[in-house]
A and B are shown apart, each in its own frame.
Chain A
Amino acid sequence: MPAMPAFFPAMNPQLRLFARTLAACLVLATPAPAAEAPTKAFFAEHCLRCHGEKQQKGEFRVDTLPTDFSEIGNAQRWAEVLFRINTREMPPKKEPQPKASELGPVVDWISTRIKEGEAVRMAKRSPVSHYRLSREEYGHTVYDLLGVYFDVDAPGAFNEDPRWHGFERIGSMLSLSPSHVDRYFKAAETVLERAFPESPTKASKGRSEAPAGSRWLIVPGHRRGNLRATAPGLYRIRVQLSAVPSFKGRLPHLAVWHNGLKRSIIGQDVQAAEDKPTVVEIETFLPEGGLDLVNETPGMLSDGQTPSIGAMPFSSLADLKNVTPKSYKLLDEQGRSIFPLLIVDWVEWEGPILTEADQKKHEGLFPAKAGDLAEARECLKRFAARAWRRPVADADIERFMKVISSELAAGEKFRSAYLAGMVGVLTAKNFYYLEEGSATQRRDRVNDWELASRLSYFLWGSLPDAELSAAAQAGKLHEPAVLRTQVARLFADAKIKRFTDAFPKQWLQLHKVGVFPPDPELYPDYDKWLEKSMVLESVSYFTEVFARNLSLREFLNSDWTMLNSRLAMHYQMPPTKASAFQRVTLRPDDHRGGLLTHAGVLMLTSDGTRHRPVHRGVWVSEAVFAKTPPPPPPNVEPLEATPGNKPKATIRQQLEAHATHANCAACHQRIDPLGFAFDNFDAIGRWRTEEVMPTGQGANPPVNASGKLPDGRAYDGPDAFKKLLVQDLDRFGEAFVEQLATFALRRAMSTDDATALRAIAHASKADDYRLKPVIERFVLSELFQKR
C-alpha cells in the first residue's frame, strides 16, 4: 500500500496541488486563510505535545494523520479531531485554550476538507457509471415512452428519493434495493397494461349538476361533485361556478379532491361574481377513483363539529339570511361573505384523453399479428432501443424473447406473453439506470448516445426524443453546432417546464417548505395553498428568468416577482389582476425582490415557531455560494424561549450571547451575518419591524437586520445585503454553474471540476450571465461531456 500523504511534517506535491485548488475554490464565499500555516501552528501549539511524535495519548497521533480526505477512514479520523475540538474536549481544560481567531481557521480547514473528500468520493467514476432515475424522472420517462401517466408519488408506488443538499438525482445516493426492484416490476406491469390494454380504453364523460333552480354552495373544507376517473390518465374537467371572496379579499380555492388518496390533485384560486358565473377548465393527470370538487380554503370545521352550513336547497347568498341560528355564519353584518365561497352550477369531466401524440408512441411496439414471434422480436427490439436510450443488438433482447417463448409454452396468451417480455425490458437495469462508460474500454468522455441522455434528462427529465436520438445515431451530437441546435430545440419544447420546475426546487431545497408546519396559534393565516404558492413563486420566478433569458443577477435582487392572489395577500401587496401567477412590479416598500426574499425560502430556513438566522445563513452559503459551512458541534444546546421574568430578546440577541464561546464564535461569525440580513422576515416570510416574542417581559424588541460580511463590508437590512451580493455576481455565477452541474451530471462537484466550472462562469460574464447562455455554455463545455 502506498504511503498516505500526511499533514505533518511536510505536504507532498499532490497535497499541495490539492490544497491550492481547494484554496482557489474556497474563495467563493470566504477569503480562505492560507490553509496550512495557521493550522500547522495550531496543532503544534495545542495538540502535538500529547498526540505527536513523543507522546500518543489514547494511542492517537495527529501529526501523521493522512490528509487524503477522499479515503473514508482518514476523513473519519479527522472528523474525530473536529468533534473533540468542537465539543471543547480538546485541548484539555488544564492546557492553554486557543482563541476564537485561532480556532476558526482550523475548524474551517478540517470541515472543508472533509466535505471535499466526500465530494471526491461521490464523484468517483468506475469504468461504467450507473445513475438511477429518480422517481420523478421515471414518471416522465414512461410517459414519454408510452404515453402512460404513472403516479410515482402514489402510496405504494415508489419511495421518496434520498437527497444530497436538495438534489434528488445524485447517482451515488440513488442506490438500488430489492424493494426498488419489486416496485419496478409492479410499475412496469401497470404501465404496460395501461399502454396496451386488452380492450381499448374508452374516454368516459360525466356530468353532475345542482338540481334545477338551485346551486351547490361549497364552503371551505367541503366537497361536492361526485366525479369519477374510470382509468388513470389525462382528464379535462369543466366547472361552471361563481367564486365569492371573503370580506378580507381571500379568494376561494377550487381543487379536485381524490377520495381514495384523500388529498387534492390540482387546484386554483377562482373569482367570479355570484351573478356572473364563469367556466373553469382544468386539464390534469388523474389516478383512477372517485373525485370531488373541494373548496380548499381554511376556516371551517376546525372544532370538529358539523353544524348545518345553511339553506338547503341553496340558490343564492340571499337565502342565507333565513338559515337557523345554529348554522355557520356565512355573511357578516354588511352582507359580505365571511368565507371564500364556491357556488357551483355543474361540473363535466372527460377522460382519459388519448392524444394523437400519445397514441403514436405505441406505434411499432406491439405486434399487429398475434403469435408472430418475428414481428415480436422487431417490436421488442424497437421498444428496448427507445427505453434504453441506445441501439440494441439482437443478443440484448434474446433473454426477453425467451421469456415470451416460455410464457407461451406455459399456455399464456400471446398478448400476455409479449407483455411479459416488455416488462423485462422496463425492469432491466438498462432502463432504470442511466449508464455511462464501457466495461471494455476506458473512456473519459460520454459517447453521443450517453450525451443525448445526459442532455435530455438534464433539460427534460426524460429520455431523448427521436430527433435527439437521430443526432446521436448520426454520431454528430457532440459537435458544438449540432449540440447548440439541440439545446435550443430542447429549450423551446414544452418539456423544458420539467427543468424549470425541478432544478429550482432542488437547488433551492424547496422540498423543505412546510417540513415544519407553522404553529397555527402563532401563524393562523398559514395554510396549505399558501405553502404551495410559496414553492410556486420560486419555481415561477425561475421560469420567468429562463423564459425572458434574464441575468443570474435577477436571482439575487430584482424589482419584480411572480405572485398569485394568495401570495399578494400574504405579502400585504395590492390584489393581483388575476388569481394565477403573474409578474408583478415591486415597490421599495414591498421589501421583496430576488429569490432570497421569497416566502418559501424564508420559511424553509425556519421552524414551526420562529425564524432561524443560522439556518438562513447556512442556506445562503449553500444556495448562493455553493459552500456548506461546518456542521454544528453535537452537544449544542438549543435556544430556550425567554423566561417569563426576563426581558424579551430577539433570536439574534440570544444567538449573540450564545456565540460568545470561542468554539461557537469561530463559525457563527461567518454564518450568522448571512442570516441576520433577513431578520425583518418572520418564520413564514412576512415583513416585520419588531420581533414578536410570546414570552418575556416588556415590549417586543425591534429587529436588527444589520451586519458585516466576513470580508468586512457592512449592510443595514436585506436590501443593502442583496446589493452586496449583486456586487459579488461573479462568485454567484460560479456557484450557480456548480449547482447546475451537480443537477445535470448527477454527482457532487469536486476540486477536479473547479477550473471548468469557473471557466464556464467566467465566459458567461460577457453576456451578463444571462441564464440560457449559461446553460448552453455549460452543455457545450468539456465538463458536460466528460465522464
Chain B
Amino acid sequence: MNLLVCLLAQSAGAAEKADFFPQPGQFPPPNAGHYLAGELVSVDHVNRRGAIRLVGDGVDDRYHSAPSHRFALLPYGTIRYHGAPAELRDIPIGTLLHGYFVLPPADDKSIPPPEKNSRYGIKHTHALSLEDDFSFYQRRDRAWKITSSDVKTGKLKATATGKADADGLKGERTFEIDRSTRVWKGRAAGELEDLAPDQTVQLNFTWAPDWKNGQLHVTDVWLDDESRKLAGERQRQVHIRHQSHRWLAGWVDHVEHQPGGKGIVTVTLFGGMDPTLYERARTAKGAAIAAAEPTLRSWWQEHDNKGGSVVGLKDLPNPPPGSSGLQLRVQLSELLEGFRPGRIVRYRPNGFPSVKLPPEERIKSFDDR
C-alpha cells in the first residue's frame, strides 16, 4: 500500500470520527482527534501556533493549491520531539510531524476557519498532540528495519516494525538520503556508510522533491539505543529548563472563596511534562499561581503571581488525555481575576525559579492574546 492510499484511508477515517468540541475545564476523551501528518512550515512558538504542509497524497492540485494547514495547540496539547516533551521552538522547520487535531473551541479566533467552498481546507485546526517520527514510532514500540541502503543512489529501503495501526506509515518504504542526512551512532555522529541491512533504526523526515506523491527525505537516523537515549535525554533537559522557567501549565478546577478575599484554588496540571517536574510539584509545600491564557502565555508571571501553601494533593485515577492527573489545592491570601474554573494558569511549585521571561512571551494587554 503506498502512502497515497494510506492518507486517503486516514482522511476517510477522520470523516467518520465523532468530533470533540474543546471546552474550558473539560479534557478530551481517549482517542479523540483526527490524525494528520505534514511538514512543519511555519511556527509562532510564543503562541503555540504554526502550520504544516500535509503529506502528499498524489493529488497534483492539492499539492499546488491547498493552503498549509494552520493549527493552534490546545492548552493541554502536547509536543514530543526525539522521544521527550518539547515546545514548538525545539522543532526545526521542515520536520515531518504527526498530530491529532480537533475542532476549535467556541469563539476561538486564533486560526481562521477554512474558506467557504475550499476544496482542501480542514476545519480541525486545534492540536491535541504533535510528534516527530522518532517520538511517534518509539512511543508505539515501532521502528524501521533497514532492508538496504545505497549511498550512491541516495535510497534507503526500510520496513516499519511493530504492530501497525491506522495512523502513520506502514510496510516497506523507500526514502531519500544524502550527505545532509545525520547519522547518530552511540554518543557520536556516524556516516551513511554505517547504515546496514537488518539494523533497527528511528528516522526523522523532511520534504523531498516528489513530496506530492508521498516521497520523504531522511534528516536523521538513530542507529542504536544509545544514540536514541542521548537524543531523548538532551531534549528532556531542554524541556525541563524551559518548563521550570515558565512553570507548569494547568487549569483551575474550583475556587473556594473565603472572607477577606482569601481562597483555596484547585488546579489540575496538564499532562505531557517530564515526570520529575510533577514530582517536584507533588513534594513542594508551597506554590505560586499566575494567570495565563490558552496559549499558555502568562501575564508578567514572576510579579503578578499569588503564592501560598499547598493544602491538598490528589492523584486522579486514569486521567484523560491532556491531564497529568495531579490535582493540587493551594491556600492563597489573595485571588486574581484569572483564577476562575476553566481558566489557564501557570503553577510554580516552590523551588522553581521566578525570573523575568523574554518580553515577547509576556502578555501585556488583551491585544497580545
Partner of A325 from B257, B261, B338 at Cβ < 8 Å: B338
Q: Does B119 contact A (CB under 8 A)?
A: no
Output the nearest chain B residue to A302 by Cβ-Cβ distance.
Answer: B333
Are A524 and B338 touching (Cβ within 8 A)? no
A: number of interface residues (CB 8 Å): 28
Set of chain A residues within 8 Å of B343, measured between Cβ atoms: 325
Q: In the complex, are the beta carbons of B261 and A338 less than 8 A apart?
A: yes
Residues facing B in A515-566 (CB within 8 A) are 524-525
Asked if B259 contacts A307 (CB within 8 A), the reply is no
A338 touches B304 (CB 8 A): no
A299–B261 CA distance with the chains assembled, in angstroms: 5
- Closest residue of chain B to A247 (Cβ to Cβ) is B257
Taking A324-B299, A524-B262 as contacts, is the C-beta distance between A300 and B257 under 8 angstroms? no
The interface residues of chain A lying within 8 Å CB-to-CB of B260 are: 298-299, 339, 524-525
For B336, give its contact among A248, A250, A300, A328 (CB under 8 Å). Answer: A328
Interchain nearest-CB distance for B58 vs A (Å): 47
The reply on A440 being an interface residue by CB < 8 A is no
Give chain A's interface secondary structure class. Answer: loop
Once the chains bind, are B334 and A326 in contact (CB under 8 Å)?
no
Count residues of chain B with CB under 8 A from any CB of chain A.
Answer: 28
Q: 1/0 per position for B236-268, CB-CB distance to A under 8 A? A: 000000000000000000010101111000000
CB contacts under 8 Å to B, within A246-274, are 246-248, 250
Chain A residues near B55: list those with CB within 8 A.
Answer: none
- Pair A329/B304 contact, Cβ less than 8 Å: no
In the complex, which residues of chain B have a beta carbon less than 8 angstroms from the beta carbon of A327? Answer: 336-337
Docked CA distance A456–B116 (Å): 93
Q: Does A89 contact B (CB under 8 A)?
A: no
Is there contact, CB below 8 Å, between B300 and A326?
A: yes
User: Is there an interface contact between B261 and A303, defined as CB atoms closer than 8 Å?
Assistant: no
Given contacts A333-B255, A333-B340, A338-B335, contact A328 B304 (CB under 8 A): no
- Shortest C-beta distance, A221 to chain B (Å), equals 10
Contact of B259 among A246, A300, A305 (CB under 8 A): A246
| B179 located at the interface, meaning its Cβ lies under 8 Å from any Cβ of chain A in the complex | no
- In the complex, are the beta carbons of A332 and B299 less than 8 A apart? no
Contact in complex: B259, A329 (CB < 8 Å): no
Known contacts A303-B333, A307-B304, A524-B262; A326/B338 CB under 8 A = yes
The answer to whether A300 and B291 have CB atoms under 8 Å apart is: no
The interface residues of chain B lying within 8 Å CB-to-CB of A248 are 259
Nearest residue, chain A, Cβ from B339:
A329
- Beyond A324-B299, A524-B262, whether A303 also contacts B257 by CB under 8 A is no
Asked whether A220 is an interface residue with its Cβ less than 8 Å from the other chain, the reply is yes
Determine the distance from Cα of A298 to Cα of B340 in the docked complex, in whole angstroms. 22
Question: In the complex the two chains form, is B338's CB within 8 Å of A333's CB?
Answer: no
Chain B interface secondary structure, helix, strand, loop or mixed?
loop
Which chain B residue lies CB-closest to A321? B337
Q: How far is the CB of A326 from chain B (nearest CB, A)?
A: 4
Count contacts between A and B, CB distance < 8 Å. 78
Least distance between B267 CB and chain A CB atoms (Å) = 14
Most B C-beta atoms less than 10 A away, residue of A325, A329, A339: A325
Q: Which residues of B lie under 8 Å from residue A246 when comparing CB positions?
A: 259
Q: Are A303 and B337 in contact (CB under 8 A)?
A: no
- Judging by beta carbons under 8 Å apart, are B337 and A324 in contact? yes
What mask results when residues 280 to 311 of chain B are scored 1 for a CB within 8 Å of chain A, else 0? Answer: 00000000001111000001100110110000
The reply to whether A250 and B261 contact each other, CB–CB distance below 8 Å, is no
Interface string of B65-92 (1 = CB under 8 A from A): 0000000000000000000000000000
CB of B341 within 8 A of chain A? yes
Given the known inter-chain contacts A220-B261, A247-B257, A525-B259, please indicate yes or no for A326 contacting B340, CB distance below 8 A.
no
Residues of A within 8 A of B261 (CB): 220, 299-300, 328-329, 338-339
Query: B337 contacts which of A220, A250, A329, A525 (Cβ < 8 Å)?
Result: A329
**Once bound together, how far apart are the Cα atoms of A299 and B306, in whole Å?**
14
Interface residues of B in 125-165 (CB under 8 A from A): none
Contacts of B302-336 to chain A: CB distance below 8 A = 303-304, 306-307, 333-336
Within 8 A of B (CB), among A290-334: 298-300, 302-303, 305, 307, 310, 320, 323-330, 332-333
Partner of B334, one of A250, A303, A325, A524: A303
Query: Please, how many angstroms separate the alpha-carbon atoms of A338 and B304 in the complex?
Result: 19
Given the known interface contacts A247-B257, A333-B341, the answer about A326 and B304 at a Cβ–Cβ threshold of 8 Å is: yes
Q: Which of A298, A310, A332, A525 contacts B257 (CB 8 A)?
A: A332
- Chain B, range 325-369, C-beta contacts under 8 Å to A: 333-341, 343, 365-366
Known contacts: A299-B261, A302-B333, A339-B261. The answer to whether A325 contacts B306 by CB under 8 A is: no
Contact of B299 (CB < 8 Å), options: A302, A305, A325: A325
Distance in angstroms between the alpha carbons of A430 and B58 in the assembled complex: 114
Task: Give CA–CA (A390, B123) in the complex, Å.
Answer: 99
Q: Please provide the chain A residues from 347 to 370 with a CB less than 8 Å away from any CB of chain B in the complex.
A: none
Q: Are A303 and B306 in contact (CB under 8 A)?
A: yes
Contacts of A333 in B (CB 8 A): 255, 340-341
Task: Please indicate which of the listed interface residues B262, B291, B337 has the most CB atoms of chain A within 10 Å of its own CB.
Answer: B337
- Bound together, the chains give a CA A250 to CA B260 distance in angstroms of 9
Cβ-closest chain A residue relative to B333 = A302
B257 touches A326 (CB 8 A): no
Interface residues of B in 18-73 (CB under 8 A from A): none
B299, A326: Cβ atoms closer than 8 Å = yes
Question: How far, in angstroms, from A220 to B293 measured CA to CA in the complex?
Answer: 28
CB-defined contacts of A299 to chain B, threshold 8 Å: 259-262
CB of B262 within 8 A of CB of A329, answer no
Q: Are A325 and B333 in contact (CB under 8 A)?
A: no
A409 to B261, CA, bound (A): 67
B341 contacts A305, C-beta separation under 8 Å: no
Using known A-B contacts A246-B259, A324-B366, A339-B261, determine if residue A305 contacts B303 with beta carbons closer than 8 Å.
yes
| Distance between Cα atoms of A329 and B265 in the complex (Å) | 12
Partner of B335, one of A250, A323, A324, A329: A329
Query: From residue 165 to 224 of chain A, which have CB atoms closer than 8 A to chain B?
Result: 220
Measured between alpha carbons, how far is A327 from B299 in the docked complex, in Å? 10
Least Cβ–Cβ distance between B104 and chain A, in angstroms: 21
Complex CA distance for A305 and B292, rounded to whole angstroms: 18
Inside 8 A of B290's CB, which chain A residues have their CB?
326
Which chain A positions have C-beta within 8 A of B300? 326
Contacts of A323 on B, CB cut-off 8 Å?
337
A220 CA to B340 CA, complexed, in Å: 21
- For the complex formed, measure the closest distance between the CB of B269 and the CB atoms of chain A, giving whole angstroms: 18
For window 157-189 of B, CB contacts with A under 8 Å fall at none
Interfacial chain B residues near A525, Cβ < 8 Å: 259-260
Q: Which residues of the partner chain B approach A300 to less than 8 Å between Cβ atoms?
A: 261, 334
Q: Given A246-B259, A248-B259, does the pair A325, B335 have CB atoms closer than 8 Å? A: no
Min C-beta distance of B261 to chain A, whole Å: 4
Q: A49 CB to closest chain B CB, in angstroms?
A: 63
User: What's the Cα separation between A307 and B306 when bound, in Å?
Assistant: 11
Q: Is the CB of A325 within 8 A of B259?
A: no
**Alpha-carbon gap, A298 to B260, bound state (A):** 6
Nearest B-chain residue to A329, judged by Cβ? B335
| CB nearest neighbor in A for B290 | A326
Chain B residue contacts of A324, Cβ below 8 A: 291, 299, 337-338, 365-366
Residue of B259, B299, B366 with highest tally of chain A CB at under 10 A = B259
Q: What is the CB-to-nearest-CB distance from A296 to chain B, in angstroms, rounded to a whole number?
A: 13
Contacts of A326 in B (CB 8 A): 290-291, 299-300, 304, 336-338
Interface mask (A573-598 → B, CB under 8 Å = 1, otherwise 0): 00000000000000000000000000
**Residue picked from A247, A332, A338, most chain B C-beta under 10 Å:** A338
Taken together as a complex, chains A and B put the C-alpha atoms of A333 and B257 apart, in Å, by: 9
Residue pairs across A and B with Cβ atoms less than 8 A apart, 7 shown, are A247-B257, A300-B261, A320-B337, A323-B337, A326-B304, A328-B337, A332-B255
Q: Which residues of B contact A (CB under 8 A)?
A: 255, 257, 259-262, 290-293, 299-300, 303-304, 306-307, 333-341, 343, 365-366
Task: Taking A326-B290, A326-B291, A328-B335 as given, write out 11 further A-B residue pairs in contact, using a Cβ cutoff of 8 Å, ordered by the A residue number.
Answer: A299-B260, A299-B261, A307-B304, A307-B336, A310-B337, A324-B291, A324-B299, A325-B292, A326-B300, A329-B339, A332-B257
> Which 5 pairs between the two chains have the least Cβ-Cβ distance?
A325-B338, A325-B291, A326-B299, A299-B260, A326-B304
